[in-house]
A and B are shown apart, each in its own frame.
Chain A
Amino acid sequence: MMPFSAESPSKQQCLIDAVSATANLIEVRGLEKRFRTRSGEIVQALSDVNLDIGENEFVSVVGPSGCGKTTLLRILAGLEQASDGAALVAGETIAEPRPDVAVVFQQATLLPWNTVLDNVLLPVQLRGERSRASMDRATALLSFMGLGEFTKKYPFELSGGMQQRVAICRALMRDPKILLMDEPFGALDAMTRERLNLELMRLWSEEKKTVIFITHSIPEAVLLGDRVVVMSPRPGRISAIVPVDIPRPRSLKTMSLPRFGVLCDEIRSMFGAELQAAFSL
């Protein structure tokens, strides 16, 4: 589809390149992940996970705690290795964190001793490519997220929602193809969360990215996603993939559409009764 491999390290495994060059940006094939706990027993975190994600697609992943959704994201981020099967980006096996993939964690993970601007510039500084252009991009991203006046502030001077916005700007700094978001708004209050959902949609319509968005919240997953991947625990696996056939642009009003409620109910019914209780909203 696209010459994605152009900027990825050549040392990476390219065996499957020929097959998948025409397929999806992200491919997960028969992915397995096993952990050994402290007591020595083996836990199956992911079992036979298969997933294809196209370019510029927004995929929500929803599931209860322990369903392996964070593990899946960590493997895609190159922070964790698969025990079996394959996870590919642009046809290449993910062996380490890739420059064209950026992660937004549940915690903002900003460096407290750096200003907001320096935090956003971190990814370019780590690669020694700080320049006038990168300064401009950082400032533009921050203004886009409504943080134009806060560039010289320190993270502890910002609210939780603002910190998470800075983290999103930082992730976008080097213009990655893929944005992996691990419950990025999970620690925020409901109002801030809704506002950030809207901002994320606005951002996504401006800067087309492939987004994998992990969440606990079914309405959030439906509101944001083109598709909702439903995962279930023990062992972590994909139990369904639900396409969200609600047209964009979406807003908070979308949540009062009958179709929205139907989709949420459909997803909710996929979990057992005891798990439903775990989902708020």
Chain B
Amino acid sequence: MKIPLAISGHRLQSLVLIVVLLALWEIACKVFSIPSLILPAPGAIALRFDSLITTGTVWPHLLATLTAVVSGFVAGTGAGFVLGALLSISPAVERLVYPYVVAFQTVPKIAIAPLFIIWFGYGVASKIVITALVCFFPVLVSVMAGFHSTDRDQLDMMKSFGATRWQTLMRLRLPSAMVVIFSGLEIAAVLAVIGAVVGEFVGAQQGLGYLITALNFSLDVPGVFAVLIFLSLIGMLLHGAVRACSKRFVFWIQREGTHLAL
């Protein structure tokens, strides 16, 4: 197996690249004496990151955002999966509903976030709903695309062996669809963080999005950057979890090098 070696080689190169970029950034800030209000140096951000942890300021906000991201992701992708599967199983319902699904998908969910604050309040509930809605569509669309992607020859094969509709669904169409569904889940994992933060921007008492607004207001730019690191960590964690699942569940697909373009 040469592949793991190759990956670790790539990882090493990526690591070197980021270290070099950070060093250049640090040097540029020093040399051109850029005020930290405009662009703080990586060192200053690291210090602020550390102080957010040691003072314990970040934890309630991190917990709130994490709750919104994970609950919203689970609820949104779950609903997307169920509705997508139902639509795929019944072509008549699909023809009826799908145009509206597409039409509604084109509505920028972010733009209706203020409405959700009105409907579900300033607490975590509105963030969960916004996150769920943002995660819902990519999964719904990927489920439907996945069910449609079933190989025609495979369908003929199942039919020739006398498979019932249900058997064909469970043994062929669903497993084939999983490949596409997982790419929908990967997109949803990244969007989930955006959904939660936007909800917190619009109106919240807690959460990393709220923290960014507050720090920005007090001109604590290194603090804002430090919170961004936390947000990326949440996103990477969720995305990594989805990828790990996909490696396990759709193991027959060679996914090396096919990273999702976002």
Contacts and interface: CB of A to CB of B under 8 A. Distances in A.
Contacts of A103: 156-157, 160
Contacts of A106: 153
A97 B153 contact: no
Interface in B149-203: 151, 153-154, 156-164, 167, 171-172, 175
Given A112-B252, A126-B167, A97 B154 contact: no
Contact of A78 (B160, B175, B252): B160
A103 to B, nearest CB: 4
Interface string A90-106: 00000001010111011
Interface residues of B, number: 20
Contacts of A156: 252, 254
Interface in A181-229: none
Interface residues of A, number: 23
Interface in A92-144: 97, 99, 101-103, 105-107, 109, 111-113, 122-123, 126-127
B180 to A, nearest CB: 14
Secondary structure class of chain B's binding surface, majority of residues: helix
Contacts of B154: 109, 111
A109 B151 contact: yes
Contact of A111 (B162, B164, B171): B171
Contacts of B159: 79, 97
A124 B161 CA distance: 9
A62 interface: no
A117 to B, nearest CB: 15
B154 to A, nearest CB: 5
Nearest to A112: B252
A107 B163 CA distance: 19
A77 interface: yes
B161 A123 contact: yes
A151 to B, nearest CB: 17
B219 to A, nearest CB: 55
Nearest to B250: A113
Interface of B: 151, 153-154, 156-164, 167, 171-172, 175, 250-252, 254
12 contacts: A97-B161, A97-B162, A99-B162, A105-B157, A107-B153, A109-B151, A109-B156, A109-B157, A122-B161, A126-B162, A126-B167, A154-B252
